[in-house]
Amino acid sequence: MIRDAAALLAFIALCLGVAAAGGAVTASSVGTWYAGLAKPPFNPPNWVFAPVWTALYLMMAFAAWRVWRRRGAGDARLAMLALGAWALQLALNLCWSLLFFGARLIGAALAEIAVLLAAILVTALLCWRIDRVAGALLAPYAAWVAFAALLNAALWRLN
């Protein structure tokens, strides 16, 4: 039980660490460069992003934890593959912030978010095969990133 709790805290800390790193890069541009971009009518207000992303990062952590807990039940290789895919999508998530807000490369960020979305879908499917709740926990994340990709594409076209 203590090991499970420690693992959950580690997954949460990892996700929130990535969130903090991405947030630091984002904060450096949101009030300056991003504020000056032409935006589509469906662009949410800035205050929406932090609570949505916080919830999504926590859901990512719980999904990974649920897969980690089941790694010995059944196909351990599938669980390790799912956790590897999970780690990859988390790294790609941070890379998008670095490209879009850090480097201000809207087109490159658009290409990267397409790869990110594919990685999330693969991760969700792998997690679903191990634990349906874990897979379902990633569905809102995939939906949000699909919306973010649409927003990214609109920003690229307008700017």
- Residue range 1-14: mean pLDDT, rounded: 94
Rounded mean pLDDT, 110-136: 97
pLDDT at 75: 75
pLDDT at residue number 1:
82
pTM: 0.95
State the Cα–Cα distance between residues 129 and 119, nearest whole angstrom.
Answer: 16
CA dist., res. 14 & res. 28, Å (int):
22
Contact 97, 22 (CB under 8 A): yes
pLDDT tens per residue across span 55-81: 999 999 999 999 999 877 667 889 999
pLDDT of residue 76: 85
Phi, psi torsion values for 73, nearest 5 degrees: -95, 105
Q: pLDDT at position 73, please?
A: 66
- CB atoms under 10 Å from CB of 87, counted, come to 13
